[in-house]
Amino acid sequence: MSGFLAVLVVVLIFVVIFQIAKASEYVSILKGEKKSREQSNRINGFLMIVFLVLGLIGVWWCHDLFEGRMLGESASVQGDGIDSLIRVTFIITMIVFVITQILLFWFAFKFQEKDGRTAFYFPHNNKLELIWTVIPAIVLTILVAFGIRHWLRITSEAPKDSMIVEVTGKQFNWVVRYPGKDGQLGRKNFKLIDNAINPLGQDWADSLNTDDVIAPDLHVVVNKNVKLIIGSRDVVHDVGLPHFRLKMDAVPGIPTTLWFTPKYTTAEMRKKTGNPDFVYELSCDQMCGSGHYSMKANIIVETQAEYDAWVASQPTQFAQAHPAPAASPAPAAAADSTKTVAQAH
């Protein structure tokens, strides 16, 4: 019963508001406020045109000001194609935006309230509906097809000569593993994870693990295909490579992959950007907890010689988990007794 009364009260409130609005309209007409409203409409119509012109100028100015200042040129071969697709999409949507906005504001000015003018309504037009449904559908289908093409390209099987790197996310940092001279990563078992000596749960019974290297940053070789094997230790993360125009989810228990080809070393990008502190960034693009904002790592793109020297300088995770026992020193007491006997003789 109380629910019915609440609904009734709401209905009565709407009826009262409607009647007050109608009464206000009648009062305005009786007082001669119609002319005042028409004058306000003329002013608003003029302001619509001003806003249209200034708005389009502002859009162009912002585009010109910030174009190329965010991430700059793509740093991967695959990213070039993605940039081209984004550019085509932007051009198409920009044309539609400009046309629709001009029509919207011009109509607001052109067809403002005037004496003797009555609105014309047409509730249905098959031709118009066909145009604004079919044409956008075709254009979007083509754009989606090109997008799927790029997606399938970076997620397909990497070329056989690709270097392999494993990237694992955990709250709130990345763990990067590199294969040794054998070029293969060893087996893992999540039950063997130990944050101190075995952060990825490497199975030491697998000989392929003995030369694997773990590091906090991602090192890749310029102009060489790189295959990333991506995973997570806890929640869903996302490998974000903004400078390379790539990203991929890191899902617990479900390895994902992508591959790309870096075009410029870090040193070359510092010269191109004029920023001596420039670094490529590996970010987490999936909200993963309270420390999400800090979950990032540096990407170092270098020559093959620089990469080989870096890998050779890194201790293997196997060696860190199995340190060699320290040599036992000669007993001091035995040495002293031998010396005493020798002196007695």
User: How sure is the predictor about 31, in pLDDT bands with cuts at 50, 70 and 90?
Assistant: low
Distance between CA atoms of residues 97 and 286, nearest Å: 30
| CATH code for the structural domain at 163-321 | 2.60.40.420
**Amino acid (1-letter code) at residue 73:** E
Pairing of strands 256-260, 213-215: unpaired
> Would you list the domain boundaries of the chain?
163-321
pLDDT of 205 strictly over 80:
yes
Distance between CA atoms of residues 41 and 24, nearest Å: 18
* Residue 3 or residue 60, greater confidence: 60
Share of the chain above pLDDT 70, in %: 87
* Alpha helix segments (H runs only) across the chain: 2-30, 33-66, 77-110, 126-155, 266-273, 304-313, 317-321, 332-344
Tell me: the pLDDT tens digits for 275-315? 999 999 999 999 999 999 999 999 999 999 999 999 999 99
What pTM was estimated for this model as a whole?
0.74
* Residue 190 or residue 344, greater confidence: 190
